[in-house]
Structure 1
């Protein structure tokens, strides 16, 4: 029986690499910065241009109208963020926009593909590092064609944990985020880190460089590809309360094993965020 999605997977890798080349070229030019929702959440013309390139290429390749698309910039411009049973591409054209603007060297193209609401494959191209992470469900995870796997560390005191502080600067959320970080540091762990891009953070877990990454407030396009890569590298994905993972919940814990995950989850101070698939308010 022919594999229905191998060609889509191979094409996603090509598209991610091409998009990364555009990002690198833009990084060499002067970047005009606009603000999105706040001064911290920066957006550049590159975001929109790269998303158009990715979606345009995918539509040209799979142009029968049977495929759906969820893209960061499209949703920002008012399109709904609904995951259906149809084949669906979930795209973050420039994950780590703030990094990109400042020349901080972690920027990724993230492309995931879901069918019947199940993630089939994910591609994360860390374009400034020139590292291609990829995985298909049931077929392992790879970085530049070399298979990767999560670390075998089970002692929380010997772990490196990744988290981010997000873009919401409300007192309540910032207080809970940093209180959580303080409690994790006092376990103690070897260290807390953050690359500024969720997709890259998940690939660091998948490749064994870190034992866990969690965040509240991320979006489905930030993590969809990384979810497949972590799982195929032998890791686990949970909700930050320890329950089942929900791609649209904007809450995610990824870890090398459940021992590390459950110990970190004990320290997380949860706060409310609006789901990605929440109804868009009418104007």
Structure 2
């Protein structure tokens, strides 16, 4: 783990410096990826990713990279190897960033032998730095954090990225059927528009659960490690083991809470399947 600490010490100030520069941006020009109005990108997304990759390559030329903007440019599905691999989201929550909502961040995760070992998430707009090294706990601005420990779904607050439902009929039906069942039971719901911070908020007990399907490795590489190191539980929303390269995740304060959410979601998914066989649309 000495090498992981070395990597951490090198990368952390790069991320903080990039975040501080990002927080001073005023004029923001927005583009849409593949004409999708929900998928935004700015020149700063590209610049931050490029700077981080170039600086890390300069120090560690044999390391690999999976970045949001690089993947979008190449149009190739990223492949995770055993090599040290940095998984980077230069601005997670771009839609918030362009509206001056302080819920966006830079996210960097590191895997070695396909194992998540390091996660750094920095929200410069609120000066919050979430960090974790596997086996050493999770921290917010240097102070140890832990999940809420909630085990009762009725007392839980869920972060649910319902905007993803607009992508296509598959996600629309999945999200809506699940939401219909969950909203009757849980204490409250939030939708923050920033996947990485959604995970970090479970880790520091601001919410108790976070459900999101349809994201990408860079949305989950740092945050899921931070949740686990804070004592939380992460699983695929289908109930299978979490897969970083296909991150449909349910992150919860405890395994007991996860089990309760999965039980309700299976009921919703079965109902959705029945309706789809009958060619019926979502029914509230």
Is it true that 1:236 corresponds to 2:265 in the alignment?
no
| Residue in structure 2 matching 1:174, options 168, 172, 175 | 172
- SS at 2:256's partner residue? helix
Provide the rounded CA distance (Å) in 1 between the counterparts of 2:20 and 2:102: 14
261, 264, 268: which is aligned to 1:267? 264
Whole-angstrom CA distance in 2 between matches of 1:49 and 1:259: 42
Q: Could you tell me how far apart the structure 1 residues matched to 2:77 and 2:242 are? A: 21
Give the C-alpha shift of residue 80 in structure 1: 4.4
Equivalent in the alignment of 2:275: none
Specify the alignment match of 1:280 in structure 2. none
Asked if the contact 1:166–1:217 (Cα under 8 Å) also holds between the matched residues in 2, the reply is no
List alignment gaps of at least 5 residues for structure 1.
272-283
Alpha-carbon distance between aligned partners in 2 of 1:153 and 1:250, rounded to the nearest angstrom: 23
CA contact (8 A) 1:166 1:218 kept: no
Give the direction of change, closer, same or farther, for the CA distance of 1:80–1:218 in structure 2 (3 Å limit): closer
Q: 3-state SS of the aligned residue for 2:250?
A: strand
* 1:56 lines up with 2:54 in the alignment: yes
Is the 8 Å Cα contact of residues 203 and 226 (structure 1) preserved in structure 2? yes
Specify the alignment match of 2:282 in structure 1.
none
Deviation for aligned residue 1:166: 4.5
Please, what TM-score do these two structures have when normalized by structure 2? 0.89
Q: Specify the SS of the correspondent of 1:129.
A: coil
1:120 & 1:220 partners in 2: Cα distance?
A: 14
| 2:18 equivalent to 1:22 | no
1:51 touches 1:93 (CA, 8 Å); kept in 2? yes
2:104 corresponds in structure 1 to 107
Whole-Å separation in 2 of the counterparts to 1:142 and 1:23:
22
Maintained 8 Å contact 2:236/2:247 = no
Partner SS, residue 120 of structure 1: strand
Matched, 1:95 2:95: no
Q: How far apart, CA to CA, are the structure 2 residues paired with 1:179 and 1:102? A: 30
| Structure 1 residue aligned with 2:279 | none
Q: Verify the 8 A CA contact 1:237 1:254 in the aligned structure 2.
A: yes
Unaligned stretches of 5+ residues in structure 2: 273-284
Cα separation, 1, equivalents of 2:38 and 2:30: 11
RMSD after superposition: 1.6
Whether the aligned pair in 1 keeps the contact of 2:96 and 2:103 (CA below 8 Å) is yes
**Conservation of the 8 A alpha-carbon contact between 1:137 and 1:228:** yes
Q: Does residue 1:120 correspond to 2:117, yes or no?
A: yes
The two structures have a TM-score, normalised by structure 1, of 0.89
Structure 2 partner of 1:194: 191
The corresponding residue for 1:11 is 10
- Name the CA distance, whole Å, in 1 between partners of 2:209 and 2:9: 28
